[in-house]
Amino acid sequence: NAGVTQTPKFQVLKTGQSMTLQCAQDMNHEYMSWYRQDPGMGLRLIHYSVGAGITDQGEVPNGYNVSRSTTEDFPLRLLSAAPSQTSVYFCASSPPANAHEQYFGPGTRLTVT
Amino acid sequence: EDKVVQSPLSLVVHEGDTVTLNCSYEVTNFRSLLWYKQEKKAPTFLFMLTSSGIEKKSGRLSSILDKKELFSILNITATQTGDSAIYLCAVESANDMRFGAGTRLTVKP
């Protein structure tokens, strides 16, 4: 199993550009989520999904969209990037039997100039 | 508003020392409290706590939850340089997972 994979590892965007951060898992996990991590602020939940076709907002959803068309994939879209979205983004997944035990991807470091 | 506060923010100890990391929280509809270790990249899961007073233990690490006083502690005994990391506390509620800012632990040889 590859676990949770994220692409790209690094990305630089200009203000106003859009892009999609990819997240995939091959563990048949129902629960997937996106976090951003900023210095001194820990991880903050952006969006999450409890299964294909179901998504919901977390603590900081503004400026981000998600979709969950398959169990494996959970992409995060930035519609119009802003410097405030400069951060490290982590995707995580967890199995239905133990939804609390999240497996994190390696992260994507995004810089918006 | 839900919040999770960890203390101290950073800690420097020497190998062999014992450390205690703190996590206090205020959330509605509490479900569980989780501890993660974050080294260079992604956090890795350590413990999940749901009941007060029941210690979870894994090797030199242990953790306990107090749901009355709304806090948890993570103990690490006989610290090693490999314990150097950021330790994250997270609290799960009905519709959210809220993380603390983390405690950066540095263990010097």
Tell me which residue in A59, A101, A103 faces B98 most closely, judged by beta carbons: A59
The pair phi, psi for residue A85, each rounded to 5°, is -90, 5
Residue B92 in contact with residue B31, Cβ under 8 Å? yes
Q: B36: which residues sit within 8 A by CB, 6+ positions away?
A: B43, B44, B45, B46, B87, B88, B89, B90
Tell me which residue in A44, A101, A107 faces B45 most closely, judged by beta carbons: A101
pLDDT for the residue A101 = 81
What distance in Å separates the CA atoms of residue A99 and residue A33, rounded to the nearest whole number? 11
- Chain B: nearest CA to A37, how far in angstroms? 9
What distance in Å separates the CA atoms of residue A44 and residue A85, rounded to the nearest whole number? 12
A63-110 per-position pLDDT tens digit? 999 999 999 999 999 999 999 999 999 999 998 777 778 899 999 999
Q: Is the peptide bond before B109 cis (omega within 30 degrees of 0)?
A: no
Q: CA angle at residue A93 from A9 to A77, to 5 degrees?
A: 50
HSE-CB of A94 using CA atoms within 13 angstroms: 16
Residue A97 is classified by DSSP as G
Residue B55 in contact with residue B62, Cβ under 8 Å? yes
Selected residue of A43, A98, A109 to mutate for chain B interface (largest B Cβ count, 10 A):
A43
A-B interface: how many C-beta pairs under 8 angstroms? Answer: 48
B35-78 per-position pLDDT tens digit? 999 987 789 999 999 988 889 999 999 999 999 999 999 999 99
Which pLDDT band, with edges at 50, 70 and 90, does B95 fall under? Answer: confident
Q: Confirm or reject contact between A19 and chain B (CB < 8 A).
A: no
- Chain B: nearest CA to A86, how far in angstroms? 17
B25-38 per-position pLDDT tens digit? 999 889 999 999 99
A9-55 per-position pLDDT tens digit? 999 999 999 999 999 999 999 999 999 999 877 899 999 999 999 99
What distance in Å separates the CA atoms of residue B74 and residue B47, rounded to the nearest whole number? 9
Q: Which of A111, A96, A108 lies closest to A35 in space, CA to CA?
A: A108
Q: Which of B84, B103, B107 lies closest to B4 in space, CA to CA?
A: B103
